[in-house]
């Protein structure tokens, strides 16, 4: 990273922006509804963020390669359907299906790398494949969550509610892997400076497959948590996660190009996107407007960032 | 041999046309030759909706890497709902309803533009965010509104000359105009020049701001028009009426031979690819394939064609 004057300050601001936005939202929520401050309040408020924080990390893996995944929501729907159908009754087959899902994702990454295809079209086409597969195995909503999965999402760890524990663990892992580990730097390089990565002797093909495979792992975990929360499967349950996960990564400080991602920010971004719903209902505004607020947050965050960049230039 | 090769490379739409004819033939053969004309006539009608949004998406994608309009489905639904709501199923209010639909398109195009050019937000996320906002406006508006078209509009959307749908004829003409415009007009050449190399286009004195403005506004206007027509055609607007159109608008552009990297467009390809995609759906329906398998095959075909097309040396 070139040490331009002021670059450090801009980077700090980029990292702080999502944290400040989340703090402001939480403050407003607690002001409107003081009971939200308690352990149980937080648990209720945040429990449905469990799939989203994993979906955000999955999307972050793809965005790190300067790609975008428009099929993630459908993939989460597929995992939701498969796990609800198989895991409770035929655990071994269910586990194999999960493994196949992850491998399919890694394969998609390799395919994109080999044929140099635009990820936006491939993942959009793949979204039809995931949705079709989900409808094939589970034509109508149904199935059930295995007991251990339903029990997992009901866990009440001491001090901090489960979603917060998961978020901290996931943010810490993501930060270590992408920002501190040496292979993480290489993987981000695939999005930032692919030629340099290739000249340094790393395989772009293996790197992209690894990023997509990791995205598949996080996508699978998101789908499993969705099954645990809803205790049933539905091919269409995953649909909103495509756009929400992209929004979470971008609001959290990621960029579409250059392999610029911020795992801690993405987790915060997921909470921000999720809390818009609670905030609206505490303010007695119809949740019909939730998408508007999410869109507006995206615009404000990105507009601010662009203005900062202009001021710095 | 060489000139044939070159002709194929500059006319990539020929592939999707061959595909469409093969799929049509296969469908007709499987039912013993009955309904050949009716199948084609229905396909022309449905494909028109893909064409209308596809032309807009094609203009945006041709303007270079990073340019894409993800707000198309939201613009369609919002325009469809507001127009039907204003019309209240009365012919007297038809013109007002159409004006409202076009107004939605214009406003959406300008909003996208302000986000992209003014706030310097990447087009993908700008159109996504604008789409979010329009989608929730539609959801809020749809509560308790009538969504039925004026009888005249309904009749117009279903009208046929012989067995050819009138809307198909209209948008064949529109497509021809756009193709001519791309090849001959300053605007068309500017779009392609920017798509090939924005810096070179800028140095050559092309007005980038004005061209990009027109591209995004045209895309939104066409989406609004498609929403209006689709709402009429299906007898009313519904919240999920445009759910497949994001993929389809991009798929018909890519399958038709327009370069996803920009700078090269094929209007004829948008038409042939739209026909191909609709005929595939018809064929799978005739074969009694369920919705699940139909989605899988559609997705695989789109990815497969993209992979093959990109493999050709000129691509």
Q: Which residues, 6 or more positions from A12, have their beta carbon under 8 angstroms from its beta carbon?
A: none
Q: Is residue A313 part of a domain?
A: no
Is the residue at B6 inside a domain? no
- pLDDT tens for residues B95-116? 999 999 999 999 999 999 999 9
Alpha-carbon gap: B45 to the closest alpha carbon of chain A (Å): 23
Residue A273 covered by a domain: no
Backbone angles phi, psi at B128, to 5 degrees: -65, -45
The reply to whether residue A120 touches residue B247, judged by beta carbons under 8 angstroms, is: no
CATH number of the domain enclosing B269: 1.10.3470
Residue B312 has pLDDT above 70, yes or no: no
User: Which pLDDT score is estimated for A310?
Assistant: 79
Q: Residues B298, A128: contact at Cβ < 8 Å?
A: yes
pLDDT-derived band at B1 (thresholds 50, 70, 90) equals low
Is residue B146 scored above 70 in pLDDT?
no
Q: Say if strands B160-161 and B164-165 run parallel, antiparallel, or are unpaired.
A: antiparallel
Name the band, by pLDDT with cuts 50, 70 and 90, for residue B69.
Answer: very high
**pLDDT value for A5:** 47
Percent of chain B scoring above 70 in pLDDT: 97
pLDDT of residue A7: 54
Higher pLDDT, B22 or B9: B22
In a domain, A136, yes or no: yes
User: Span B261-273, mean pLDDT?
Assistant: 90
* Weakest-pLDDT range from A89-93, A96-100, B32-36: B32-36
| Residue A81 predicted with pLDDT over 90 | yes
B106 lies in some domain: yes
Q: Which residues between 111 and 140 in chain A have a beta carbon less than 8 angstroms from any beta carbon of chain B?
A: 111, 115-118, 120-122, 124-129, 131-136, 139
pLDDT (tens digit per residue) in B150-197: 888 888 888 888 888 999 999 999 999 999 999 999 999 999 999 999
pLDDT beyond 60 at A179: yes
pLDDT of residue B220: 97
Q: What is the pLDDT of residue B126?
A: 92
Distance CA A215, CA A194 (A): 19
Q: What angle do CA A275, A278, A279 make, to 5 degrees?
A: 85
Write out residues 246-265 of A within 8 Å (CB-CB) of B. 246-247, 250, 256-257
Residue B230 is part of which domain span?
12-311
Residue A3 reports pLDDT greater than 80:
no
What average pLDDT score do residues B193-219 get? 92
User: Considering CB atoms only, which of B132, B254, B297 is closest to A295?
Assistant: B132
One DSSP character per residue, B28-43 reads HHHTTTTTHHHHHHHH
- Any domain includes A172: yes
pLDDT above 50: residue A169: yes
A283 within a domain of the structure (yes/no) = no
Percent of chain A at pLDDT exceeding 70: 96
Report pLDDT for B76.
96
Position A299 in a domain:
no
Chain-chain contact of B126 with A129 (C-beta, under 8 angstroms)? no
The percent of residues in chain B predicted with pLDDT above 90, rounded, is: 48
Q: Provide the number of structural domains found in chain B.
A: 1
Whether the pLDDT of residue A276 is over 80: the answer is yes
Higher per-residue confidence, A245 vs A305: A245
Q: Which of A86, A211, A69, A218 is nearest to A130 (CA)?
A: A69
Cross-chain residue pair B296–A133, CB shorter than 8 Å: yes
Return the residue in A104, A125, A233 with the most chain B beta carbons within 10 A, the one to mutate for interface testing. Answer: A125
Q: Dump pLDDT digits (tens) for A285-307.
A: 888 888 898 899 889 888 888 88
Split into its structural domains, chain A has a count of 1
Q: Give every CB contact of residue A42 below 8 A, 6+ residues apart in sequence.
A: A36, A161, A163, A164
Residue B5 in any domain: the answer is no
Determine the pLDDT at residue B144. 64
Any domain includes B197 = yes
Q: Say whether A125 and B302 touch across the interface (CB within 8 A).
A: yes
pLDDT, mean of residues A165-175: 93
Report the complex ipTM.
Answer: 0.86
CB contact under 8 A, B124 and A115: no
A59 reaches B (C-beta below 8 A): no
DSSP states along chain A: ----TTHHHHHHHHHHHHHHHHHHHHHHHHHH-GGGGSHHHHHHHHGGGHHHHHHHHHHHHHHHTT---SSHHHHHHHHHHHHHHHTTT-HHHHHHHHHHHHHHHHHHHHHHHHHT--HHHHHHHHHHHHHHHHHHH-SSSB----HHHHHHHH---SSS-HHHHHHHHHHHHHHIIIIISHHHHHHHHHHH-HHHHHHTT--HHHHHHHHHHHHHHHHHHHHHHHHHHHSSB-TTTTTTHHHHHHHHHHHTT--SSTT---HHHHHHHHHHHHHHHHHHHHTT--GGGHHHHHHHHHHHHHHHHHHHHHHH-
pLDDT bucket at B308, cuts 50 / 70 / 90: confident
Is the model more confident about B255 or about B58? B58
Task: Answer yes or no: is A202 within a domain.
Answer: yes
What pLDDT does residue B157 have? 86
For residue B120, is it within any domain?
yes
For a pLDDT cut of 90, what percent of chain A falls above it? 50
Question: Is residue A253 predicted with pLDDT exceeding 80?
Answer: yes
Asked if residue A4 belongs to a domain, the reply is no
Instruction: Flag the least confident range among B2-11, B130-139, B201-210.
Output: B2-11
Q: Given pLDDT bands bounded at 50, 70 and 90, which one contains residue B315?
A: very low
Contact B120 A310 (CB under 8 A): yes
pLDDT for A203 beyond 80: yes
Tell me, what's the pLDDT at A15?
76
Taking the C-alpha atoms of residue A81 and residue A104, their distance in angstroms, rounded to an integer, is 16
Give which of B113, B121, B129 to mutate to test A binding, by max A Cβ within 10 Å: B129
Domain that holds residue A81: 66-239
Residues A33-38: what's their mean pLDDT? 83
Q: For the segment A131-140, what is each residue's pLDDT rounded down to a tens digit?
A: 999 999 999 9
Compute the count of residue pairs across chains A and B with CB atoms less than 8 Å apart.
Answer: 138
């Amino acid at each position: 990273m070139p040490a331009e004057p002021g670059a450090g300050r801009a980077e700090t601001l980029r990292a702080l922006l999502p944290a400040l936005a989340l703090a402001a939202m939480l403050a407003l929520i607690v002001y409107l509804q003081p009971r939200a401050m308690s352990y149980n309040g937080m648990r209720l408020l945040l429990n449905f963020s469990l799939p989203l924080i994993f979906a955000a990390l999955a999307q972050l893996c793809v965005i790190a390669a300067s790609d975008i995944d428009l099929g993630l929501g459908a993939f989460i729907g597929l995992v939701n359907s498969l796990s609800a159908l198989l895991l409770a009754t035929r655990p071994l087959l269910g586990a194999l299906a999960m493994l196949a899902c992850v491998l399919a994702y890694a394969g998609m990454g390799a395919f994109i790398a080999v044929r140099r295809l635009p990820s936006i079209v491939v993942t959009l086409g793949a979204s039809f494949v995931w949705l079709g597969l989900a409808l094939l195995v589970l034509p109508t909503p149904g199935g059930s969550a295995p007991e251990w999965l339903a029990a997992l999402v009901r866990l009440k760890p001491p001090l901090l509610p489960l979603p917060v524990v998961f978020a901290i663990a996931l943010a810490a892992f993501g930060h270590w892997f992408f920002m501190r580990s040496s292979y993480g730097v290489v993987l981000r390089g695939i999005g930032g400076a692919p030629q340099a990565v290739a000249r340094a002797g790393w395989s772009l093909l293996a790197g992209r497959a690894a990023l997509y495979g990791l995205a598949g792992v996080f996508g699978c975990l998101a789908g499993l948590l969705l099954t645990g929360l809803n205790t049933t499967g539905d091919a269409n349950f995953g649909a909103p996660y495509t756009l929400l996960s992209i929004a979470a990564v971008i609001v959290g400080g990621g960029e579409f190009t250059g392999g610029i991602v911020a795992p801690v920010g993405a987790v915060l971004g997921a909470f921000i996107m999720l809390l818009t719903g609670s905030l609206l209902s505490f303010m007695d505004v119809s949740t019909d407007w939730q998408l508007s607020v999410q869109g507006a947050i995206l615009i404000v965050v990105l507009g601010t960032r662009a203005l900062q960049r202009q001021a710095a230039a | 041999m060489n000139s044939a090769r070159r002709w194929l490379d500059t006319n990539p739409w020929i592939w999707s046309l061959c595909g469409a004819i093969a799929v049509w033939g296969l469908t007709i053969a499987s039912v013993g030759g009955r309904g050949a004309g009716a199948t084609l006539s229905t396909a022309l009608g449905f494909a028109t909706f893909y064409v209308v949004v596809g032309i807009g998406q094609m203009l945006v994608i041709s303007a270079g890497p990073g340019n894409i309009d993800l707000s198309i489905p939201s613009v369609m639904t919002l325009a469809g709902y507001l127009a039907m709501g204003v019309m209240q199923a009365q012919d007297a209010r038809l013109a007002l309803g159409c004006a409202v639909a076009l107004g939605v398109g214009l406003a959406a195009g300008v909003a996208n533009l302000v986000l992209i050019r003014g706030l310097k937000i990447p087009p993908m996320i700008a159109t996504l965010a604008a789409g979010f906002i329009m989608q929730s406006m539609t959801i809020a508006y749809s509560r308790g509104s009538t969504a039925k078209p004026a009888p005249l509009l309904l009749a117009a959307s279903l009208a046929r000359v012989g067995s050819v749908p009138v809307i198909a004829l209209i948008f064949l003409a529109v497509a021809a105009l756009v193709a001519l415009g791309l090849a001959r007009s300053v605007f068309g050449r500017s779009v392609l020049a920017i798509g090939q190399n924005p810096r070179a286009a800028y140095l050559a004195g092309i007005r980038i701001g004005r061209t990009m403005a027109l591209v995004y506004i045209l895309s939104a206007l066409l989406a609004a028009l498609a929403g209006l027509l689709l709402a009429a055609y299906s007898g009313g607007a519904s919240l999920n009426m445009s759910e497949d159109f994001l993929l389809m608008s991009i798929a018909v552009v890519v399958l038709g031979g327009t370069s996803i990297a920009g700078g090269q467009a094929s209007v004829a390809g948008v038409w042939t690819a739209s026909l191909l995609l609709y005929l595939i759906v018809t064929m799978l329906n005739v074969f009694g394939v369920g919705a699940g398998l139909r989605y899988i095959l559609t997705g695989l075909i789109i990815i497969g064609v993209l992979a093959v097309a990109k493999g050709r040396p000129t691509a």
